[in-house]
């Protein structure tokens, strides 16, 4: 792998590594992996998401579905529009709140499609922790709204409002919430944290994991010596808060991951943790702190349990391909492009391939959703119930 860094990038990563090393020393020579991941991604002015850097798109570190094609956001509107119309019929504001809106492309494509369908939102709000991405969103959406949807307000919030009535979206957000890593040794689970030895960040086994933090899959599974995986207490806590704050409406998220039976499969020996830099996938999470994105796959079963614990009416899970096809993405593609014109339709076809193909994003990426107080089957869905979670009585 050939990655050439500028002197500023090298210095940036070194300074953050030194700060992490200082934190490790202050905590007795060991920190949890979630603490390391939090600093690597979110340390003020230094972390990957809190320091200025070009993260998304061809020149960045990774590409998301909204960056590939506006078809992604347009298809989502097959689900969003009937929910928004239902809220409007109840005299409630028609509003969407998006966590981690990237460059703003998803918001742009959703509002463009709603406008095309003759529906204008009251507001589209964004919660964004990355200052440079927030600036890119404002540059894109401010001019776009003034030209297309002047009556729609777009605001950037610091926190999720309580008793929120509307739609909450999150595309590739949960995977970037810090996770903990654990390792199976001598018949027990141990915390697998971070130490600093010989001027290098390295793995180090910590104390045994408290039994009440382990799921039944981890307590009863047949795991080999040295098996490594992740626990997701911060992501689960985030899901609890989102579900608690949503009073009436829909939560919809897209991300890569598995239900727990697949997540903690005995053959998934090294977990799902991954670093990304300039479209390279990197196994070593300690590579270039502050310059690499760090992610882990989402464990959807526990996410669903958190939503149900906060009185979600229903939870849904499907692969991305199945959802998008049910949301008529193929018909929408034919609306905007002529298959008889290869120059126009070839880029559309290529985007569809990446969004739907099992070898690309179609199978690994999942769609998770829950509703609260909608009192109706969610339109636009043909989603499977999450395995083992067919109602609260199964928890």
pLDDT tens digit at each of 395 positions of the chain: 556 788 899 999 999 999 999 999 999 999 999 999 999 999 999 999 987 655 544 445 567 888 888 999 999 999 999 999 999 999 999 999 999 999 999 999 999 999 999 999 999 999 999 888 899 999 999 877 666 667 789 999 999 999 999 999 999 999 999 999 999 999 999 999 999 999 999 999 999 999 999 998 999 889 999 999 999 999 999 999 999 999 999 999 999 999 999 999 999 999 999 999 876 889 999 999 999 999 999 999 999 999 999 999 888 899 999 999 989 999 999 887 777 777 778 888 898 899 999 888 889 999 999 999 986 555 444 434 433 333 333 32
DSSP state of 270: B
CATH number at residue 267: 3.40.50.12710
15 to each of 9, 46, 257, 285, how far by Cα in Å?
10, 8, 32, 17
- Tokens 């039944």, residue located: 216
Structural domain span for residue 274? 1-395
- CA–CA distance, 243 with 176 (Å, rounded to integer): 19
DSSP state of 31: B
What tokens appear for 15 in the block? 């300074």
- CA–CA distance, 112 with 96 (Å, rounded to integer): 14
What tokens appear for 1 in the block? 């792998």
Give the dihedral sign, CA 62/355/362/375.
positive
175 to each of 4, 232, 235, 253, how far by Cα in Å?
27, 10, 8, 11
- CA–CA distance, 69 with 347 (Å, rounded to integer): 9
Cβ burial of 159 (10 Å; 0-12, 13-18, 19+) is exposed
What tokens appear for 202 in the block? 């390295």
- Cα–Cα–Cα angle for 101, 103, 106, nearest 5°? 55
How many residues in total does the chain contain? 395
Residue 132 has a pLDDT of 85
Q: In which element (H, E) is residue 302 found?
A: helix 300-309
- Cα–Cα–Cα angle for 278, 283, 287, nearest 5°? 65
Residue 393 has a pLDDT of 30
| Domain count of the fold of the chain | 1
Q: Are 129 and 199 in contact (CB under 8 A)?
A: no
């Amino acid at each position: 792998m050939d990655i050439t860094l500028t002197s500023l990038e090298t210095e940036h990563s070194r300074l953050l590594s030194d700060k992490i090393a200082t934190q490790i020393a202050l905590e007795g020579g060991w920190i949890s992996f979630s603490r390391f991941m939090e600093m690597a991604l979110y340390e003020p002015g230094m972390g990957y998401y809190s320091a200025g850097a070009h993260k998304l798109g061809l020149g960045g570190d990774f590409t998301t579905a909204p960056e590939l094609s506006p078809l992604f956001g347009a298809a989502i509107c097959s689900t969003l529009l009937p929910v928004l119309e239902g809220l409007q019929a109840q005299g409630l504001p028609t509003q969407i709140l998006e966590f981690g809106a990237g460059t703003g492309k998803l918001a742009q494509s959703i509002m463009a499609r709603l406008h095309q369908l003759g529906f204008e939102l009251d507001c589209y709000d964004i919660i964004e922790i990355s200052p440079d991405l927030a600036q890119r969103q404002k540059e894109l959406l401010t001019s776009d709204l003034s030209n297309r949807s002047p009556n729609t307000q777009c605001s950037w919030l610091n926190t999720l409002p309580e008793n929120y009535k509307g739609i909450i979206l999150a595309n590739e957000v949960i995977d970037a919430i810090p996770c903990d890593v654990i390792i199976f040794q001598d018949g027990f689970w141990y915390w697998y944290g971070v130490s600093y030895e010989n001027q290098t960040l390295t793995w180090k086994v910590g104390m045994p994991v408290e039994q009440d933090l382990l799921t039944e899959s981890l307590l009863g599974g047949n795991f080999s010596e040295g098996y490594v995986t992740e626990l997701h207490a911060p992501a689960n806590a985030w899901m609890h808060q989102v579900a608690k704050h949503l009073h009436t409406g829909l939560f919809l998220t897209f991300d890569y991951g598995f239900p727990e039976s697949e997540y903690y499969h005995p053959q998934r020996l090294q977990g799902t943790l991954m670093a990304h830099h300039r479209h390279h996938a990197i196994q070593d999470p300690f590579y270039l702190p502050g310059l690499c994105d760090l992610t882990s796959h989402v464990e959807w079963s526990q996410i669903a349990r958190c939503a149900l614990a906060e009185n979600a009416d229903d939870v849904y899970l499907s692969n991305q391909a199945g959802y998008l096809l049910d949301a008529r993405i193929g018909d929408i593609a034919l609306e905007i492009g002529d298959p008889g014109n290869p120059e126009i339709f070839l880029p559309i076809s290529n985007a569809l391939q990446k969004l739907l193909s099992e070898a690309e994003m179609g199978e690994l990426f999942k769609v998770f959703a829950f509703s609260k107080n909608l009192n109706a089957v969610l339109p636009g869905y043909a989603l499977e119930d999450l395995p083992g979670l067919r109602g609260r009585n199964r928890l």
